[in-house]
Amino acid sequence: MLKFDTRDKKPKLWNLAGVTAATAVFFAVCLLTPVKEPPALAGAVLVLYFTTAFILLVSGFRKQIQYNPYSYNTIIYMGFALFDLSVIMTHTVLTVRMVLDPASYQEKEILYVLLNSARNYMFLSLPFILIFSAGLCISNLFLIRHEGRRFVNLLGIILSFLMIGGEEFLLRYDSYLAGSGDRYMLHALLSNLFAAVYLYFECMLVGAIVADVIAARYEPEPDRDFLIILGCGIRKDGSPSPLLRGRIDRALAFGKKQKEQTGKDLTYITSGGQGPDEVVSESAAMKNYLLDQGIPDCRIIQEDRSTSTMENMLYSREIIQRVDPEGKVAFATTNYHVFRSGLCARRVKMRAVGIGAETKWYFWPNASVREFVGLLTEHRGKQALVFGGLSAVYVILTWLVYR
């Protein structure tokens, strides 16, 4: 079983940078020397490079989870590994064809296939997109039926239309291709860059889902000193809402299991302030619930200032630092919220491992989309860097193919 927090050193992919540089030098030499290498050799080198990159990215993903599972790097490593996998499949097929029939392929064929690999894989993934989008729409319809017609409850439907619309746009854009020369080259650049950006978001979404599932299903070691319960709203009478009660019950189940296995008691930190329409703070509501379940008052600490997940973690950390700075910490929240909550904990310099409470099946897909959008907007700088890198790569590839 993969263990969280077993590494003290952050993983770095310098080896991937070295392999990339070596591959780039190889192809630069091939382009500049008059003696041309067989196209099949160049194809084999590309397959070897992307396979090596895939292995390194998967290894980086595993090491990142062992160091800090609640990191945007976790999503990046998994997302780019999936992106890489699409290129491996495309160039493996091409290389086999070049070996079997070398006379039919020129050296530019490799660059042409590489340029179009994102677009080809985008079309190959269409069945997955259709199934995934249909599932999102169905879950959203159930969500709207039970939770009301609010904008946040429509995110899954909106994303579904955007994903299918992206496929439709590329198909229609290709049908309008006309002309030659610079116009043809511009069309190739725009269509392939659009496909790469689309595929990037598709892979990042899958990477986020994988990271969410791993984080939500993980069970911390039964050696915790503190367990933070994150608030999420209460009823008008001051009792916990069903969603909040699920978080408390999950915390209680973990505390009971830890007591049975190790004999060690937990200190519960109920974290949540009082909203303008709430009769008591979320913290007080959770404490009352814990008292009703037989938890003694001395094992409950209230944190009633927070108004967001980040403040939950920040103010809870302040309490822990005063009581026991070396204490081991866990937190309880709803399953879809574990990853982002853990990210907030790490941002306030607190190493805490999350446990996820179950929620209704139709609630998780839309909530996961919302968490994914939140992660992207919180890392706008990284998105700009990726878009800039993709644009540069596709400008160079297009120029090499159509020069």
Measured CA to CA, the distance from residue 232 to residue 334 in angstroms comes to 9
pTM as predicted: 0.84
Q: Letter for the amino acid at 268? A: Y
Burial of residue 296, with CB atoms counted within 10 A of its CB: 0-12 exposed, 13-18 middle, 19 or more buried: exposed
Q: Give residue 310's pLDDT.
A: 94
The answer to whether the CB of 184 falls within 8 A of the CB of 174 is no
- Each residue's pLDDT expressed in tens, for the chain with a length of 403 residues: 678 878 888 888 899 999 999 998 988 887 777 766 677 888 889 899 999 999 999 999 999 999 989 988 888 898 889 888 878 888 888 888 888 887 777 767 777 888 888 888 888 888 888 998 998 899 889 888 887 888 878 888 998 999 999 999 988 887 766 556 678 888 888 888 898 888 888 888 888 888 888 998 999 999 999 999 999 889 889 899 999 999 999 999 999 999 999 999 999 999 999 988 888 999 999 999 999 999 999 999 999 999 999 999 999 999 999 999 999 999 999 998 899 899 999 999 999 999 999 988 888 787 778 777 877 777 788 788 888 888 888 888 888 888 7
- Count the residues in the chain: 403
Residue located via tokens 């904990």 = 345
- Phi/psi for 270 (5° steps) reads -90, 115
Nearest CA among 324, 343, 334 for reference residue 368: 334
Contact 13, 53 (CB under 8 A): no
Can you tell me the distance from the alpha carbon of 59 to that of 76, in angstroms, rounded to the nearest whole number? Answer: 13
Per-residue model confidence (pLDDT) at position 104: 73
- Give residue for tokens 């404490």: 287
C-beta of residue 47 within 8 angstroms of C-beta of residue 88 = yes
Residue that the structure tokens 């630092």 belong to: 321
State residue 1's pLDDT score.
Answer: 61
Dihedral sign from CA coordinates of 39, 42, 44, 46: negative
Q: Where are the domains of the chain?
A: 14-218+368-402, 226-327
d(CA 125, CA 67): 32
Residue type, 231: G
CATH class of the structural domain 226-327: alpha beta
pLDDT of 182: 78
How far is residue 193's CA from residue 186's CA, in Å, rounded to a whole number? 10
Which residues lie across from 352 on neighbouring strands? 329
CB 216 within 8 Å of CB 339:
yes
Distances (CA, A) of 216 to 227, 250, 339, 351, 357: 16, 12, 7, 16, 8
Residues 271 and 238 sit within 8 Å (Cβ to Cβ)? no
Q: Count the neighbouring beta carbons within 10 Å of the beta carbon of residue 391.
A: 14
The whole-number pLDDT of residue 36 equals 66
